[in-house]
């Protein structure tokens, strides 16, 4: 009888923990103002529409993530693309310090 009571309490506590933590485990969109700021930064960064293949801005918990998929469209070498991608990454990181910025290379 006592073991059943303790098991019920443990299940209730576990369900409460899942209920409280589940929203932080799911991706949510970043605030609209932050997304507009990121889009504006990409517009002034000098990237063409064929270079910025995809921009994902999920938010997990309190950390905003910016995933930029870039294509080396107008770059003559990998070093040039690496320099341009690094410049874009530093620009976004400096203007949106609350974001974790990741650059993905589109090799199509």
- The pair of structure tokens assigned to 70 is 């870039």
- Report domain extents, the chain: 26-105
Q: Which two tokens stand for residue 30?
A: 């970043």
pLDDT confidence band for 11 (50 / 70 / 90) = very high
State residue 10's pLDDT score. 96
Backbone angles phi, psi at 75, to 5 degrees: -105, 135
Count CB-CB contacts under 10 A for residue 99. Answer: 19
- Of the listed ranges 12-16, 58-62, 69-73, 97-101, the least confidently predicted one is 58-62
Q: So what's the pLDDT on residue 16?
A: 93
> Which comes out higher in pLDDT, residue 107 or 82?
82
92 — pLDDT class (breaks 50, 70, 90): confident
Cα distances from 57 to residues 7, 15, 37, 51, in angstroms, run: 41, 30, 12, 17
Q: What CATH class does 26-105 carry?
A: alpha beta
Average pLDDT over residues 59-66: 77
Average pLDDT over residues 82-92: 87
Both structure tokens of 6: 């303790």
pLDDT in tens, 19-62: 888 777 777 777 888 888 888 888 888 777 777 788 888 877 67
Check residue 106 and give its pLDDT: 82
């Amino acid at each position: 009888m006592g073991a059943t009571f303790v098991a019920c309490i443990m299940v209730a506590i576990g369900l409460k923990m899942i209920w409280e933590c589940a929203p932080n485990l799911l991706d949510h969109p970043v605030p609209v103002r932050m997304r507009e700021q990121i889009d504006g930064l990409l517009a002034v960064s000098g990237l063409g529409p064929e270079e910025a293949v995809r921009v994902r801005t999920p938010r997990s918990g309190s950390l905003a993530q910016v995933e930029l998929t870039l294509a080396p469209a107008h770059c003559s070498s990998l070093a040039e693309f690496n320099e341009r991608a690094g410049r874009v990454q530093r620009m976004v990181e400096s203007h949106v310090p609350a974001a974790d910025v990741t650059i993905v290379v589109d090799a199509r």
